[in-house]
Amino acid sequence: LNAAMTFDKESLSPTYHLKIGRPGSSYAFEIAQKSGLGKKVLNYARHKAGENEKAVDELLVDLQQEKKEAEDHIRELEAKQKNLERLIRNYDNLHRDLEYRRKKMKLETKENALQLAAQTNKEFEKLVREIKEQQNLEKAKKLAAEVKSERQELAKEVKDLQEDIYYKPPEPGSDKDRPIQEGDFVKMKTGGATGMVESINKKNAVVLIGDMRMVIKLRDLQHANEPLDIRSARSVQTSTSNLSGGFDPKLDIRGMTIQEAMKVVEAFVDNALIANVANIRIVHGKGTGALRNVVRRKLREYNVPMNVAHPSHDNGGDGVTEVELM
């Protein structure tokens, strides 16, 4: 069995690494010269050892050095390979996220178009009545069939996009692949605040979101990260401090439906937290108080210290909600 202790050729110092499988150089002449042995004695020793032994010794030294350089190069290539694999994984994740956002944007466009079609339905009915009054029943039937066909086609596109975005089976082995259990943090696949599963009954789950309990179908839920106390410490501000310059701390939701207001208020508060804004102002009007209740309910979903109040009567009173983010 061949073996050798490796040496650093430059400093002629031992590395204390044992190599199994091949002989190594003794470095006898080099170490003797470094130790101060006389030149005459060294020349005599080299003469006695012969040229062949000297050549073999030098060959072993060169092979050992080349092997070390090859091993260093292999380690460098392995490190680059790992880095490349990491970059490929990141790219794949970004590509999937971009594709999801693109489909969701398309879905929102179709949903808005469907809502617009519903809003214009009254105008269509008025037109049909006018046509009927003019005894043009054939034209009325034709228009009714065209509008019904367009709405059915649009509704089908919306349903297909919802199935593709929200109900597509997760990739095997991913965190979302495991079934939802009690104690898991979840959120609606259509977006919204994060809550904790309190109990599960067959195909439904009781989810605790803030102070509210909601019964939601398991099919409409997805795994989510545990909510973080975003503003409990102000140390993480390096990458978001420059966002506050383009953020408008005032929001006006007057005239919106309750569903529209909930989405707009959620996006507004999220952007305020990201931009590290201390004070925001939401104008909702007085009216029946429905929009004011929407704002209050949405603010309670955030696990963030805040002061919520109404300004003086001259500054809007109950028609305005002012929030101080602590």
When comparing pLDDT for 175 and 34, which is higher?
34
Residue 234 maps to a domain: no
In the chain, the amino acid numbered 121 is: N
**117 shares its domain with 143:** yes
Confidence class of residue 35 from pLDDT cuts 50, 70 and 90?
confident
CA angle 257–217–224, rounded 5-degree value: 85
pLDDT of 229 above 50 = no
Could you tell me if residue 150 is inside a domain? yes
> According to the model, what pLDDT value does residue 56 have?
64
The pLDDT, as a whole number, for residue 74 is 93
CB 273 within 8 A of CB 301: no
State the chain's mean pLDDT as an integer: 76
Cα–Cα distance, 213 to 197 (Å, whole number): 10
What is residue 53's predicted lDDT score, i.e. its pLDDT?
57
Within-domain flag for 245 = yes
Whether the pLDDT of residue 321 is over 90: the answer is: yes
255 within some domain = yes
Kindly report, residue by residue over 215-225, the tens digit of the pLDDT: 888 887 888 77
Q: What is the b/e burial string over 23-50, where b = at least 16 CB atoms within 10 angstroms of the residue's CB?
A: ebbebebbeeeeeeeeeeeeeeeeeeee
Residue that is last in its domain, among 56, 85, 114: 85
Q: Do 216 and 271 fall within a single domain?
A: no
Same structural domain for residues 49 and 16? yes
Domain boundary among 85, 118, 148: 85
Is pTM beyond 0.75? Reply is no
Q: Do the Cβ atoms of 322 and 283 come closer than 8 Å?
A: no
Q: What is the pLDDT averaged over residues 186-196? A: 74
Q: Read off the pLDDT of residues 117-162 as tens digits, 9 standing for 90 and up.
A: 766 766 776 666 666 666 566 666 777 777 778 777 877 777 777 6
Share of the chain above pLDDT 90, in %: 11
Number of structural domains found in the chain: 4
Asked if residue 270 belongs to a domain, the reply is yes
Number of C-beta neighbours around residue 261 at 10 A: 21
Q: What span, in angstroms and rounded, lies between the C-alpha atoms of 302 and 287?
A: 26
**Structural domain for 248, as ranges:** 241-325
Q: What is the pLDDT of residue 323?
A: 92
Residue 231 lies in a domain: no
pLDDT at 55: 63
Q: What is the mean pLDDT of residues 162-182?
A: 65
Residues in the chain: 326
Alpha-helix residue ranges (DSSP H) falling in the chain: 28-34, 39-49, 51-119, 121-133, 137-166, 258-274, 290-299
CATH number, domain with residue 268? 3.30.1370.110
pLDDT digits (tens, 9 = 90+) for 61-107: 677 778 888 888 999 999 999 999 999 988 888 888 888 888 888 87
Half-sphere exposure in the Cβ direction for 219 (13 Å, CA): 6
Quick one: pLDDT at residue 105? 84
**In whole angstroms, what separates CA 120 from the centre of its chain?**
39
Q: Kindly report the CA angle at 175 between 165 and 219, in degrees rounded to 5?
A: 45
| Residues 162 and 181 both lie in one domain | no
The answer to whether residue 135 is domain-embedded is yes
Using the predicted structure, report yes or no on whether residue 164 has a pLDDT greater than 70.
no
Establish if 202 belongs to a structural domain: yes
Domain-terminating residue out of 58, 85, 112: 85
User: Tell me, what's the pLDDT at 281?
Assistant: 93
Q: Are residues 11 and 39 in the same domain?
A: yes
Helices and strands per DSSP (H, E), number in the chain:
7, 11
